[in-house]
Structure 1
Amino acid sequence: MSELILIAASGLAREVLAMVRGSGQYDVVGLLDDDKGMLGTTLDGAPVLGGVDEAARFRNALLLVCLMSGRAREAVVDRLRGVGIGDSQYATAIDPSVNCPEGCSIGRGSILLRNVTMTASVTLGAHVVAMPSVTMMHDTKVADFGTLGAGVSLGGGANIGRAANVEMNASIQALTTVGDYSTIAMGSAVHTNVPTGTAWGGVPAHRLVRYIRRPSSRGN
């Protein structure tokens, strides 16, 4: 069984811990987090071993970045590249309830929690997070660092951009694009293409002038 280290002592890390322990996918050695106050403590029984940059000490272990914000995951991966961590050192964690049909692909560093559904020719990039009960129809594409909240539905041919964040129970119409680094608010219904770096919400979704909620770098 491969050893695994989780980056960030977050709520998502707790969910991944529960998943991989239940399935026996990995042996979780511990976590790395920059909060010095957490050093020597445990998260659900897994020890916090040091700061993020100490990943370079664990060459025999696989890594998984457990931050809900795609931007934050991207920043950590870039940072670890600077200390010599390449793509091959990242794990992929997929709940046993998830079926990956022939023709679908999942990039390294991605996390798929319980009851994620992919139908046909779905392509997920690296370090994608899909929370429970996400549905992705045929020919959906999610770029690197994309985040799909629980209950998100993506219509056939939908295209989710790099580090875009689609929040819980939002729906994206078929053949619709959500631009890089954009956010779709919880429960929204998106029927038109969303430009890069914007925030949309509502039913039907419209561009939000102000978007008060900001993704946390440590979130659940």
Structure 2
Amino acid sequence: MTRAPLLLVGAGGLAREVLAAIRLGDRWDPVGLLDDRPSLAGSVIDRVPVLGGTDLVHEHPNAKVVVCVANAHRPTGRREVVRKLGLPASRYGTVVHPHASVAHGVVLGEGTVLLAGVVITAPQEVGAHVLAMPHVLLTHDDSVGDFVTLAGRATLAGAVRVEDSAYLGSACAVREGVTIGAEAVIGMGAVVLDDVPAGETWVGLPARKLVSAAVPRLEAL
């Protein structure tokens, strides 16, 4: 089987994990990494060269693209990179680790990545540019929007709705029927029993909104 060329945007740890997944399959040939940090240009990461900045994506029109960017402090980061690239949806590939278990009938949006041990138990649609890290579990009737990040061992019970650009931290669990709003962040190990409004950060067991400590005002002397 002839492997198709693939460019990875972002040259950090996530790109290394995606490269490892690709090498266990027979679909993709990683031809290069793109990263806007000048210090990385010309370096080699796990036997794949960093070709230069993200503007070079247009010089490889025959290569599919996967964006390898994820950060809990910036849940919209992957979306921003995709918008900057300005590519049509057809330019993006999907990466599914051979040890992921995906039910027949699941539809994955463009640019989505499923790493080792991900399980999707029933037919459903998963959005574009979604990242599911190792051992994520999606069950029946879940709905995962575009640009969602599911960190390792995040678990969704049935009929959970996760809206665009939400970030679910490692080992969190979400009760059935709950909605996680757009750009919300769920902390590591949190147990979410109630709907989380858009843009809020929830942590703890049970999870509650994280309220930043007020900074005391310093009166002028």
Whether TM exceeds 0.5 here: the answer is yes
- Whether 1:46 aligns to 2:48 is yes
- Whether 1:206 aligns to 2:208 is yes
Partner of 2:78: 73
Q: CA deviation at 1:24?
A: 2.6
Partner of 1:101: 103
Give secondary structure in 2 for the equivalent of 1:73. helix
Partner of 2:25: 23
Q: CA deviation at 1:44?
A: 1.0
Determine if contact 1:132/1:151 at 8 Å carries over to the other structure. yes
Q: Which amino acid aligns with 1:54?
A: L
Partner of 1:216: none
Stretches of 4+ aligned residues off by more than 3 angstroms: none
Query: Among residues 155, 158, 162, which one is paired with 1:156 in the alignment?
Result: 158
Q: CA deviation at 1:210?
A: 2.4
Q: CA deviation at 1:27?
A: 0.6
TM-score of the aligned structures, taking structure 1 as reference length: 0.92
Q: Hey, what's the Cα distance between the residues in 1 that align with 2:104 and 2:182?
A: 27
Q: CA deviation at 1:23?
A: 1.5
Partner of 1:167: 169
Q: Which amino acid aligns with 1:94?
A: V
Partner of 2:219: none
Structure 2: gaps (5+ residues) = 214-221
Q: Hey, what's the Cα distance between the residues in 1 that align with 2:56 and 2:178?
A: 40
Higher RCO, 1 vs 2 (CA within 8 Å, ≥6 residues apart): 1
Q: Which amino acid aligns with 1:188?
A: A
Aligned 1:114-193 pairs, distance under 5 A: 114-193=116-195
Determine if contact 1:124/1:142 at 8 Å carries over to the other structure. yes
Q: CA deviation at 1:200?
A: 0.2
Determine if contact 2:24/2:98 at 8 Å carries over to the other structure. no
Deviation digits for residues 50-70 of structure 1 (CA, Å, limit 9, x no counterpart): 101111111010000000134
Q: CA deviation at 1:160?
A: 0.7
Cα RMSD (Å) of the superposition? 1.1
Deviation digits for residues 57-90 of structure 1 (CA, Å, limit 9, x no counterpart): 1101000000013411100110111xxx211000
Number of aligned residue pairs: give it. Answer: 208
- Whether 1:4 aligns to 2:6 is yes
Q: Hey, what's the Cα distance between the residues in 1 that align with 2:196 and 2:125?
A: 20
Q: Which amino acid aligns with 1:64?
A: V
Q: CA deviation at 1:100?
A: 2.2
Determine if contact 2:141/2:159 at 8 Å carries over to the other structure. yes
